[in-house]
Amino acid sequence: MRPAPLLAALVLAAAWPATSQPMAPMLTVKEVMKHVVNPAAETFWKGSGSVTTEDGVEERAPTTDAAWDALVNAAAVVLEGGVILKTPGQGPADPEWQRFSQQLADAGALGMAAARAKDEDKVFEAGGEVYNACYACHAKYIPRPANSLWKQP
């Protein structure tokens, strides 16, 4: 081990001001959706179920360790997306917002466990839970036009 860099790191750590400030949001909710939550969920969903094409039914479950790992990673981002949405100041200060954010994090955790276990059925179920979390929050927080046929629950 080379002691010099370690010493430098210790000096830096000591000089760094102690901050106990909670993390403030750096992206808008819309950006979190666009760049974090949505792509991760899409990747996760693409790793389960099947699609029917002209050539027949294509199973989408991963077939390699690397692809299973990628599914675990996507679920982890979904989980952390929920954590980001729970950051104080991110989204409305409302217990229901917290609940839906937690629902997304929990669904991501289920997805991680299922993908780690390489369990196709559980991955599919977790995908449904992820979808439910998106839907529940959008139903409540994305305003619809008053004349929409789609009714607010």
Binding residues for ligand HEC, rule: CB under 6 A, are 29-30, 33-34, 37-38, 41, 78, 85, 97, 100-101, 104, 130, 133-134, 137-138, 141-142
CB of 90: closest distance to ligand HEC in angstroms?
Answer: 9
CB of 145: closest distance to ligand HEC in angstroms?
Answer: 14
Contact of 29 with 85, CB cutoff 8 Å: yes
CB of 83: closest distance to ligand HEC in angstroms?
Answer: 11
Euclidean distance between CA atoms 82 and 33, whole angstroms: 10
Contact of 60 with 70, CB cutoff 8 Å: no
Ramachandran sector of residue 145 (left: φ over 0; alpha: ψ -120 to 50; beta: rest) = beta
Q: In terms of CB distance, is 6 or 94 closer to ligand HEC? A: 94
Q: Which tokens hold the place of 96?
A: 């229901």
CB of 104: closest distance to ligand HEC in angstroms?
Answer: 4
Q: In terms of CB distance, is 48 or 101 closer to ligand HEC? A: 101
Q: In terms of CB distance, is 61 or 85 closer to ligand HEC? A: 85
CB of 65: closest distance to ligand HEC in angstroms?
Answer: 25
Q: From residue 96, give the alpha-carbon distance in Å to each of 100, 117, 140.
A: 6, 31, 9
Contact of 82 with 35, CB cutoff 8 Å: no
Q: In terms of CB distance, is 68 or 97 closer to ligand HEC? A: 97
Cβ neighbours of residue 153 closer than 8 Å, sequence gap 6 or more:
139, 140
Q: In terms of CB distance, is 62 or 82 closer to ligand HEC? A: 82
